[in-house]
């Protein structure tokens, strides 16, 4: 470090080193219990196929029996191809995200504040303060298990930075900004709300700055238009399947989130805390177990907590007071106001706004994706942090003009404000620092009982499915399985309501050969009472808490059933006389080939988790004769009505896989072309 005219110059290497050390230290402090305790977390987005095949680009998770969103492949494919154990992969991705979260904020704030203060040391202190405040935010407590949300949160500061830099009109070519925007928006699209929030932020900043300057920045428009084009090209791997799913069945689109129907009661429950006061403190989430972490029993601590939550918004407002003519601060203030209105829209005092948002969510096809208004607060956090950074720099700049006997006293307000902001951030998100997440983010080891049960089942080399009741342990299972979400309604409505068949008949009808029952769960055990005296369903492994049952007969995941796809029809008549499955093979999780001989139309039962995006193509004598969409069988597996007779081949395909592979090719070629152009242009400029 050197001092020139009172400014302490710090080399870039030292700044980077300090940023990395602080980011790793803060992430390690937050995740100390997670890092030091064994096991995996199986909650939220962390319910992923730990036993899945490496180098997987399949959009159907065979083990989980659910679709895989193409947007999430950015993270999943990256993780699946790292040769580490699942527990290490979880810790790796979380440390990486939080280090990235700190460094992106640190880099952006340091660069911007260096121009404001003209002092590297003070800019470094402000950057450290801002990065700590950004990481120590209640949003990171609420969304800790949601990898795709916090991944976008980690990169959002870069979107704001490059937007402001582009407006400044420096010498960098607009196509370079376009490439950066295209890559950023593609990477954070693992949660589709982030591209929407980013585009909204860019649009608001552009519109506000244009209005204040009273002129249009053509370079900005060019970069944004090119950026949108590059985003479309790079995002082809998820856009192609997305558009096809919307085209083929908008009501069951791959990207349409659950719940399938959103009523008034659920909408009100989800948004019951979305007041302006709660939104400004980032405390408007409805999830009660997490909310309880922030509510101290002591009245004094509760008041202290409420006050701490207002420090960041107060400092953000101070930036506008101290710099009323700064166009960037005005634009950021407008953006923060719009975000607060969106986040508090369900309870906004102006009824017109609440009604507009209500109609948007309940009466539009994809409005349900924004049913939780409070998640709009995610981009607000950095906007507040950046405005607070401008406040701190303004406080320092104004304190220099006071004539003090001791020059060092001029730093006192600066140090005081930084200390208050860090302290307030720590209080406002104290569960992060204390590690007291009340079991909401707790790694657990797979019990020895489950490990032994898995070993017993894994000895069977046939293809089958398993029921895990009443819940799936952390880490899932090393074979295809149905969880209680599908199994319990099926067993309750069918097996318990109609005793015309044995329990084993109901279980095997949907392709299930083994059932793992946790005996602690009272809602499951009645199904399996009296199995000791039965031959069709036998206990093959039993421990203190677990019992593994096996169906003692041939289980086929593909078979011919009656026209209505009911078990009663199947038991009354041997449908092999109508259609005999000669053989079938699984090419990969998204592609099956079946050869059969049919004498009359029949329903083909396909025991994979039901999705309207499966499709059966019928071939006869090598020629395509028909394409059939699936019918749900007991809302758990697929049925295809086959009209054709004779020797036929049925190819069952998860049809979005074709569009994903085509889009992936387009994305790959586009990325390679962009990188080649960038390298060529850079070399040309250097000459």
- 421 touches 312 (CB < 8 A): yes
| Confidence at residue 673, expressed as pLDDT on a 0 to 100 scale | 93
Number of helices (H), then strands (E), belonging to the chain: the values are 25, 18
| Confidence at residue 590, expressed as pLDDT on a 0 to 100 scale | 92
Segment (H or E) for 254: none
Q: Which of 671, 651, 589 is nearest to 52 (CA)?
A: 589
| Confidence at residue 259, expressed as pLDDT on a 0 to 100 scale | 46
When mean pLDDT is compared across 68-82, 391-405, 542-556, the lowest value belongs to: 391-405
If one counts every other C-beta atom within 10 angstroms of the C-beta of residue 261, the result is 8
Q: In the numeric block, which tokens belong to residue 182?
A: 């295209």
Q: How far apart are CA 111 and CA 105, in angstroms?
A: 10
Residues 468-481 have pLDDT tens digits of 888 788 778 889 99
Residues 63-89 have pLDDT tens digits of 888 888 888 888 877 776 777 787 888
If one counts every other C-beta atom within 10 angstroms of the C-beta of residue 634, the result is 19
Residue 120 banded pLDDT, cuts 50, 70, 90: confident
When mean pLDDT is compared across 452-456, 529-533, 599-603, the lowest value belongs to: 529-533
For residues 396 and 464, the model is more confident at 464
List the beta bridge partners of residue 40: 444
- 511 touches 556 (CB < 8 A): yes
Residue 384 banded pLDDT, cuts 50, 70, 90: very high
Chain-centre distance for alpha carbon 20: 26
Residues 618-645 have pLDDT tens digits of 999 889 999 999 999 888 999 999 988 8
Tell me what the mean pLDDT of segment 573-594 comes to.
Answer: 86
Q: How far apart are CA 221 and CA 175, in angstroms?
A: 11
Tell me what the mean pLDDT of segment 567-593 comes to.
Answer: 84
Residues 286-315 have pLDDT tens digits of 888 888 888 777 778 888 888 888 999 999
CA dihedral in degrees (164, 165, 167, 168; nearest 10)? 120
| Confidence at residue 265, expressed as pLDDT on a 0 to 100 scale | 82
Q: How far apart are CA 508 and CA 555, in angstroms?
A: 6
List the beta bridge partners of residue 9: 2
Q: How far apart are CA 683 and CA 217, in angstroms?
A: 28
Residues 176-196 have pLDDT tens digits of 889 999 999 999 998 889 999
Q: Across 519-601, where does the E strand assignment appear?
A: 537-542, 546-551, 558-561, 579-588, 591-598
Q: Which of 473, 71, 47 is nearest to 255 (CA)?
A: 71
Q: How far apart are CA 449 and CA 545, in angstroms?
A: 8
When mean pLDDT is compared across 399-408, 453-462, 501-510, the lowest value belongs to: 399-408
| pLDDT over threshold 90, residue 561 | no
Tell me what the mean pLDDT of segment 368-396 comes to.
Answer: 91
Tell me what the mean pLDDT of segment 608-627 comes to.
Answer: 91
Give the pTM: 0.89
Q: Where are the domains of the chain?
A: 2-434, 448-551, 558-654
Residues 341-375 have pLDDT tens digits of 999 999 999 999 988 988 888 887 777 778 888 89
336 burial level (CB within 10 Å; 0-12, 13-18, 19+): buried
**Average pLDDT of every residue of the chain:** 85
Tell me what the mean pLDDT of segment 564-584 comes to.
Answer: 80
Residues 123-167 have pLDDT tens digits of 999 999 999 999 999 999 888 888 899 999 999 999 999 999 888
Residues 7-55 have pLDDT tens digits of 567 788 898 999 999 999 999 999 988 888 888 887 777 776 677 655 5
Q: How far apart are CA 225 and CA 175, in angstroms?
A: 10
| Confidence at residue 154, expressed as pLDDT on a 0 to 100 scale | 95
| Confidence at residue 5, expressed as pLDDT on a 0 to 100 scale | 41
| Confidence at residue 4, expressed as pLDDT on a 0 to 100 scale | 43
When mean pLDDT is compared across 329-343, 570-584, 652-666, the lowest value belongs to: 570-584
Residue 101 banded pLDDT, cuts 50, 70, 90: very high
| Confidence at residue 294, expressed as pLDDT on a 0 to 100 scale | 82
Q: Which of 621, 601, 626, 615 is nearest to 652 (CA)?
A: 615
- 296 touches 305 (CB < 8 A): yes
| Confidence at residue 506, expressed as pLDDT on a 0 to 100 scale | 85
What CATH number was assigned to the domain covering residues 558-654? 2.60.40
| Confidence at residue 33, expressed as pLDDT on a 0 to 100 scale | 87
- Cis peptide, bond prior to residue 107, ω within 30 of zero: no
């Amino acid at each position: 470090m050197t001092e020139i005219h009172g400014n302490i110059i710090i080399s870039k290497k030292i700044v980077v080193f300090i940023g990395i050390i602080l980011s790793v230290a803060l992430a390690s402090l937050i995740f100390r219990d997670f890092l030091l305790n064994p096991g995996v977390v199986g909650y939220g987005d962390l319910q992923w196929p730990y036993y899945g095949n490496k180098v997987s680009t399949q959009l159907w998770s065979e083990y989980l029996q659910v679709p895989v969103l193409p947007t999430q492949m950015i993270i999943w494919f990256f993780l699946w191809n790292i040769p580490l154990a699942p527990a290490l992969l979880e810790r790796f991705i979380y440390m990486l995200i939080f280090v990235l979260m700190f460094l992106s904020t640190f880099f952006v704030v340091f660069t911007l504040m260096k121009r404001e203060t003209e002092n590297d040391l003070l800019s470094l202190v402000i950057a450290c303060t801002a990065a700590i405040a950004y990481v120590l935010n209640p949003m990171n407590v609420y969304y800790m298990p949601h990898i795709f949300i916090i991944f976008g949160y980690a990169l959002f500061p870069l979107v704001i930075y490059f937007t402001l830099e582009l407006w400044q009109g420096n010498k960098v070519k607009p196509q370079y900004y376009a490439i950066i925007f295209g890559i950023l928006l593609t990477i954070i699209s693992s949660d589709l709300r982030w591209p929407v929030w980013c585009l909204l932020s860019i649009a608001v900043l552009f519109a506000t700055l244009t209005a204040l300057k009273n002129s249009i920045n053509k370079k900005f428009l060019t970069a944004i238009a090119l950026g949108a084009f590059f985003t479309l090209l790079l995002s082809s791997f998820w856009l192609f399947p997305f558009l096809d799913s919307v085209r083929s069945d908008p009501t069951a689109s791959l990207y349409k989130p659950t719940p399938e129907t959103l009523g008034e009661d659920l909408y009100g429950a989800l948004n019951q805390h979305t007041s302006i006061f709660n939104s400004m403190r980032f405390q408007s989430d409805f999830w009660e177990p997490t909310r309880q972490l922030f509510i101290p029993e002591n009245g004094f601590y509760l008041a202290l907590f409420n006050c701490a939550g207002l420090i960041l918004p107060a400092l953000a407002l101070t930036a506008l007071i101290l710099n009323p003519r700064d166009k960037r601060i005005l634009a950021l203030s407008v953006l923060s106001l719009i975000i607060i209105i969106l986040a508090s829209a369900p309870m906004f005092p102006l009824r017109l706004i609440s009604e507009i948002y209500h109609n948007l969510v309940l009466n539009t096809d994809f409005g349900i994706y924004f049913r939780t208004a409070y998640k709009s607060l995610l981009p607000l956090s950095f906007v507040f942090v950046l405005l607070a950074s401008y406040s701190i720099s303004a406080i320092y700049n104004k304190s220099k003009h006071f004539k003090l006997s001791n020059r060092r006293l001029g730093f006192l307000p600066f140090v005081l404000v930084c200390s208050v902001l860090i302290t307030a951030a720590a209080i406002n998100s104290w569960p992060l620092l204390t590690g007291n997440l009340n079991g909401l983010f707790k790694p657990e080891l797979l019990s020895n009982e489950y490990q032994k049960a898995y070993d017993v089942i894994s000895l069977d080399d046939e293809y089958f499915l398993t029921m895990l009741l009443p819940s799936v342990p952390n880490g899932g299972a090393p074979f295809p399985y149905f969880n209680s979400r599908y199994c319990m309604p099926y067993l309750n409505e069918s097996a318990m309501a109609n005793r015309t068949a044995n329990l084993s008949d109901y279980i095997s009808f949907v392709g299930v050969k083994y059932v793992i029952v946790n005996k602690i769960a009272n809602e499951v055990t009645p199904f399996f009472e009296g199995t000791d005296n039965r031959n069709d369903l036998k206990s093959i492994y039993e421990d203190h808490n677990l019992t593994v049952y096996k169906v003692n007969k041939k289980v086929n995941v593909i078979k011919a059933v009656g026209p209505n796809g009911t078990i009663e029809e199947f038991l009354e008549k041997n449908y092999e006389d109508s259609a005999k499955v000669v053989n079938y093979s699984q090419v990969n999780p998204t592609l099956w080939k079946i050869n059969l001989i049919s004498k009359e139309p029949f329903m083909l039962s396909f025991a994979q988790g039901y999705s309207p995006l499966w499709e059966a193509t019928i071939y006869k004598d090598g020629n395509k004769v028909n394409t059939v969409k699936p019918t749900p069988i007991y809302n758990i597996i697929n049925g295809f009505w086959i009209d054709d007779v004779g020797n036929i081949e049925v190819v069952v395909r998860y049809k979005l896989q074709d569009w994903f592979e085509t889009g992936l090719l387009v994305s790959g070629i586009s990325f390679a072309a962009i990188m080649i152009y960038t390298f060529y242009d850079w070399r040309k400029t250097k000459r």
